[in-house]
């Protein structure tokens, strides 16, 4: 069954419109750069993949850790379509937004045009699925950013279902479909969004992962092997993302923040080539991001 699904996915990719197969020439940067800040943990860092140190010289790591991560992918995408963004990140692996508020907010208290907030993958380490801390920290950050720039666009990232928590025992999501954890995380973000007028939206990263799996582009269960012609969105720990998972994450951020159709990047997209992502896979993931954003 996995083989048949993979072959069907490859047919769909091959049949994609030719317009998505070539990246447009980048336009010259125009005007003052927009500023964007990413606040999060290892899921923003690009941990356990080549994304972690990717083009770190193109972004500003406010902690001085030298990470490029998803912010550097975003920066690379914007350069290719002629947009001028100054990109910064403040991350700490395994930490909640509450940690960043308590320990790092002095680094972040300035005017930004866009801010991406990414909560812990289980929301709460001791009480998985409990969004109480999320509901406190994210609105606090939003209020602080709005004081510095009333027009700031604050977005929450709803991350992906962890295969280790779904396919292995011991978690609230064990033995349930991937979509259950995905929707739990999305509902938590929607609830937090409703608490602050400064929070403008939710980035449906986890739902884009689910869509890629449903389309046969990505394998749903890394514990039973990866089907021929499909990719693994998770890395070796079945927890963090692979280059494919982070690439899809960055595409969702890019499409939502800039309003540009991710398929405009095309088969010759630079980051995919740098990371060793096949052109047809890059195009397929761009289409997933576009479709997810259109339906969110």
In this structure, how many other beta carbons lie within 10 angstroms of the beta carbon of residue 110?
13
Stretch 201-228: mean pLDDT, rounded? 98
**How many angstroms separate the Cα of 114 from the Cα of each of 41, 60, 156, 174, 196?**
18, 15, 11, 35, 15
What pLDDT is attached to residue 80? 98
* pLDDT tens sequence across 90-113: 999 999 999 999 999 999 999 999
Over pLDDT 90: what percentage of the chain?
Answer: 89
What pLDDT is attached to residue 234? 98
* pLDDT tens sequence across 68-97: 999 999 999 999 999 999 999 999 999 999
Question: What pTM does this model have?
Answer: 0.91
Instruction: DSSP for 161-213, please give it.
Output: PPHHHHSSSSSTTTTS-HHHHHHHHHHHHHHHHTT-TTEEEEEEHHHHHHHHH
What pLDDT is attached to residue 28? 54
CATH superfamily of 33-294: SGNH hydrolase (3.40.50.1110)
| Residues 230, 2 contacting (CB under 8 angstroms) | yes
Instruction: DSSP for 114-149, please give it.
Output: EEEEE--TTSSSSSTT--HHHHHHHHHHHHHHHHH-
Instruction: Please give the backbone phi and psi of residue 112, each rounded to the nearest 5 degrees, phi first.
Output: -130, 150
- For residue 142, the Cα-to-chain-centroid distance in whole angstroms is 19
What pLDDT is attached to residue 296? 78
Stretch 145-167: mean pLDDT, rounded? 98
Q: Is 44 left (phi over 0), alpha (psi -120 to 50) or beta?
A: alpha
Mean model confidence pLDDT for the chain: 92
pLDDT at 288 over 90: yes
Q: Where are the domains of the chain?
A: 33-294
């Amino acid at each position: 069954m996995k083989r048949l699904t993979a072959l069907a996915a490859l047919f769909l990719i091959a049949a994609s419109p030719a317009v998505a197969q070539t990246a447009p020439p980048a336009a010259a940067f125009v005007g003052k750069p927009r500023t964007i800040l990413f606040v999060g943990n290892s899921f923003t860092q690009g941990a356990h993949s080549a994304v972690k140190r990717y083009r770190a010289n193109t972004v500003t790591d406010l902690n001085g850790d030298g990470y490029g991560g998803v912010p550097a992918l975003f920066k690379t995408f914007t350069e290719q379509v002629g947009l001028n963004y100054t990109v910064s990140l403040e991350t700490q692996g395994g930490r909640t937004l509450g940690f960043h508020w308590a320990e790092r907010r002095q680094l972040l208290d300035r005017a930004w045009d866009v801010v991406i907030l990414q909560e812990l993958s289980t929301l709460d380490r001791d009480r998985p699925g409990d969004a109480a801390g999320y509901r406190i920290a994210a609105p606090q950050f939003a209020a602080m950013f709005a004081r510095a720039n009333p027009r700031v666009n604050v977005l929450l990232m709803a991350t992906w279902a962890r295969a280790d928590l779904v396919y292995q025992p011991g978690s609230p999501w064990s033995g349930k479909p991937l979509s259950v954890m995905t929707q739990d995380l999305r509902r938590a973000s929607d609830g937090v969004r409703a608490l602050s007028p400064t929070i403008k939206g939710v980035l449906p990263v986890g739902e884009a992962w689910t869509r890629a799996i449903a389309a046969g582009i990505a394998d749903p269960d890394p514990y039973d092997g990866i089907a021929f012609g499909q990719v693994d969105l998770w890395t070796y720990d079945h927890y963090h993302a692979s280059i494919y998972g982070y690439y899809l994450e960055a595409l969702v951020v890019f499409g939502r923040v800039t309003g540009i159709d991710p398929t405009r990047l095309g088969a010759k997209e630079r980051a995919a080539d740098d990371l060793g992502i096949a052109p047809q896979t890059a195009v397929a993931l761009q289409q997933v991001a576009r479709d997810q954003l259109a339906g969110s």
